Amino acid sequence: MSSTFYLIGIGLFVGFAAWLLFIWAVKSGQFDDPEAPKYRMLDDDDEPAKPVNSAEKKSP
């Protein structure tokens, strides 16, 4: 019965340590995507150009 308490304690300790390591990894930028910047320039998010009216074109 006492070994169950030891295993529960060890499991909680390992789980807490893993959680702390995960938080550290997120804050230090380990999960940043290094591939995204080179594909970001291919995204077409520019607004389309406004059509020019022929009346505006002929103004003196």
CA distance 1 to 14: 20
The pLDDT tens digits of the residues spanning 10-55 come to 999 999 999 999 999 999 988 888 888 788 777 766 666 677 666 6
Q: Is 38 domain-assigned?
A: yes
What pLDDT, on a 0 to 100 scale, did the predictor assign at position 39?
Answer: 81
Q: Is 55 domain-assigned?
A: no
CA distance 12 to 48: 56
Q: Which residues form the domain of 6?
A: 2-43
Identify residue 45 by its one-letter amino acid code: D
Residues 1-7: what's their mean pLDDT?
93
Our count of domains for the chain comes to 1
What pLDDT, on a 0 to 100 scale, did the predictor assign at position 15?
Answer: 98
| Residue 7 phi, psi (nearest 5) | -65, -40
